[in-house]
Amino acid sequence: MGTSTNNNDSSNDIPCSYIPVPDSLDAAGAMAEPRRQVKGLLVILCGLLVLFLLVAFNGSYRGSNNAHEQASLAAALTSIVDEKSTSSETVPSSSTWSRGVSAGVSEKSNWLFSSNNGEMYPWNNSMLSWQRTAFHFQPEKNWMNDPNGPLYYKGWYHFFYQYNPNAAVWGDIVWGHAISRDLIHWQHLPLAMVADQWYDKNGVWTGSATILPNGKIIMLYTGSTNESVQVQNLAYPADPSDPLLIDWVKYPSNPVLFPPPGIGATDFRDPTTAWLTSEGKWRITIGSKLNKTGIALVYDTLDFKTYEQIEGFLRAVPTTGMWECVDFFPVSKEVENGLNTSVNGAGVKHVMKVSLDDDRHDYYSIGSYDEKNVKFIPDDVDNDVGVGLRYDYGVFYASKTFFDDSKRRRVLWGWIGESDAEYADVAKGWASLQGIPRTVTLDTKTGSNLIQWPVEEVESLRLRSDEFKDLKAKPGSVVPIDVGTATQLDIVAEFEIEKEELEKATSESNVDYYSCESSGGAAHRGALGPFGLLVLADDGLSEYTPVYFYVIKGSDGNLKTSFCSDQSRSSVASDVVKKTFGSLVPVLEGEKFSVRILVDHSIVESFAQGGRTTVTSRVYPTRAIYGAARLFFFNNATAASVTASLKVWQMNSAFIRPYNPDQTN
């Protein structure tokens, strides 16, 4: 497939390309919430008058290229005002229906209503159809959540997932199954396992695959019994010679594990991939809790049918609550290759990851594995399991890794839920997707965090590319990036601040703290931020999603960089959750600010500094869709100009086909 490249080398400012951001961030302001008292009539009338003027103004703008009008439009629409206190930011408990907690699993439902007094946005079929992604994995219809038992077998990648075959909401959970040659193009297969036994009557829940040295596949999974007790079960392929693994057999003597004494009947789930000990036993860990302390129980087995519980816990951390979807694997300190799950010893660190039931985020810790004492010891207790680092600071949960022996890499899958109203999911007929699979390695430069990066196969979807060099954005400006339609993109960008401006700005500014979530998002202007890209924006900038860096100089004199994604202006719809996500990202001496962004309709996956910090967002624009989606470079800092260089690829769609027994070659 041919690729054309357009090089736009702009070493100087682009004439008439800047849309100044107003000096006062309150110039545009957020439209006041309508008052319900009779005495508010005057305000309503004024609002109608303003609306009339804005409509008239917008019409004149579209027919004019006058620079003054462009600046006025920016003043009216590009002020990114914090909406933390408005109804689009939070949903009161009275407006939601908890789906899953009563069954002993984490909250799996989406918001039924917005907190805007239950107001439903008038979604139409065109808007809802646009939300379906083009190159992320999704079932043909209905609900999906946790990734289960991913593996590579006889030339095929297998992906299993929690699936409701009956509706676009959580419930009736079975295992969906799909296969791929490259982790990008998929073919659906028949359901792998259904809820047909007393021990999984209320759900075939999350599990993991282990491939033994002789090639035999072991699948352990949690079943919710007819009495909603969580038990562990064994399954295996009916025909190991079948590379598609279509048929599965459940062990006749299931369950193989029941909740041990002291553990709640609904607090015992999600067995890990097994690893081999030096004594020749296989070892697994299962998530649980004791009061509010999250724990990982440990079991040894020789045959995966009978088990010995090991005294104590692999790790226990107070106040973290129930641990779901525990993952435990080694990473190399010396090479970028992934490691088989059983590897231990010199040159190896271990990663322990948990999904916290209480906040629905995935946390990881890097440390050492003491096999003899069966303990995980974190390198940094401040970044212990469940309290420190996260895989992703946005919408990303219940993740699971597997070792891809064919390419010697560890691959991470993560469930990306919805942030819209559940009635909208029912209307469109599907809910949730999986993130692009990521490779996971230790960051050998810092030694303190992981590197996550989209698998290389996603680059096969790249089509035409556009390259922009040395674009300059003055403080408070927005620069259009002409790539045409911006619905399916792979963006690689670098940003620089002149050393002199950096030193001057930092000498005049001392800020101890900046938080993506609570500091006002991209609206909060500082000497050195925010700056970055506006994705899924419309021409009039009534909708856009900033992905940006924010640099501060702390009282200790050191620069600290936050990497964030702000959804507060991503949609004019009132019934979607709009938050700002992000965290600190290490930027080492001599490094430029760098980001890679995958835009695929309603999902935006962002990887900062080579993948040290990642943020995934779900956004639901109503105007910046189809051919109206655009890309901009912005700099909302107050004291520094920013130079950007970008390469942007249009992305092809992946082939995700329904099951056809004649098309599995």
Residues designated as active site = 146
44: left (phi over 0), alpha (psi -120 to 50) or beta: alpha
Of 446, 341, 436, 336, nearest in space to 383 by CA: 446
Contact call for residues 19 and 473 (beta carbons, < 8 A) = no
Query: For residues 352 and 368, what is the distance between their CA atoms, to the nearest angstrom?
Result: 10
C-alpha separations of 136 from 122, 131, 488, 607, 618 in Å: 26, 12, 11, 16, 13
State the burial class of residue 68 (Cβ atoms within 10 Å of its Cβ: 0-12, 13-18, 19+). exposed
Q: What share of the chain is helix, strand, coil (3-state, %, to 5)?
A: 10, 40, 50
Closest CA to 425 of 84, 108, 86: 108
**Closest alpha carbon to 289 in 244, 215, 355:** 355
Rounded Cα distance, 151 and 437, in Å = 12
What six digits make up the tokens of 649?
């690829």
Ramachandran angles phi, psi of 198, nearest 5°: -60, -30
CA distances from 13 to 93, 495, 594 (A): 50, 15, 21
The secondary structure of residue 182, as a DSSP letter, is S
Nearest to 408 by CA among 350, 343, 328: 343
Q: Which residues contact 412 (CB under 8 A, 6 or more apart)?
A: 391, 399, 400, 401, 437, 438, 439, 440, 452
Both tokens assigned to 525: 């202007």
Instruction: Give backbone dihedrals phi and psi of 56, rounded to 5 degrees, phi first.
Output: -65, -40
> What tokens were used for 372?
């003899």
- Using N-to-C axis directions, what is the helix angle for 67-77 and 41-62, rounded to 10°? 140
Q: How many CA atoms lie within 13 A of 31 on its CB side?
A: 16
Structural tokens at position 576: 């979607």
**R_g over Cα of the chain:** 25
Beta bridge partners of 450: 442
- Give the single-character DSSP code of 446: T
Q: Pseudo-torsion of CA 253, 255, 260, 266, nearest 10°?
A: -160
Spatial CB neighbours of 444, under 8 Å, sequence gap ≥ 6: 333, 334
Torsion sign, CA atoms 192, 142, 457, 209: negative
- The per-residue DSSP string of 104-138 comes to TS---PPBSS-TTTT------HHHHHHTS-SSS--
User: What is the C-alpha to C-alpha distance for residues 235 and 248, in angstroms, rounded to an integer?
Assistant: 7
Alpha carbon distance 656, 183 (integer Å)? 11
Helices (H) and strands (E) in the chain, counts: 5, 38
**Cβ contact 477:634 at 8 Å:** yes
Amino acid at 397: Y
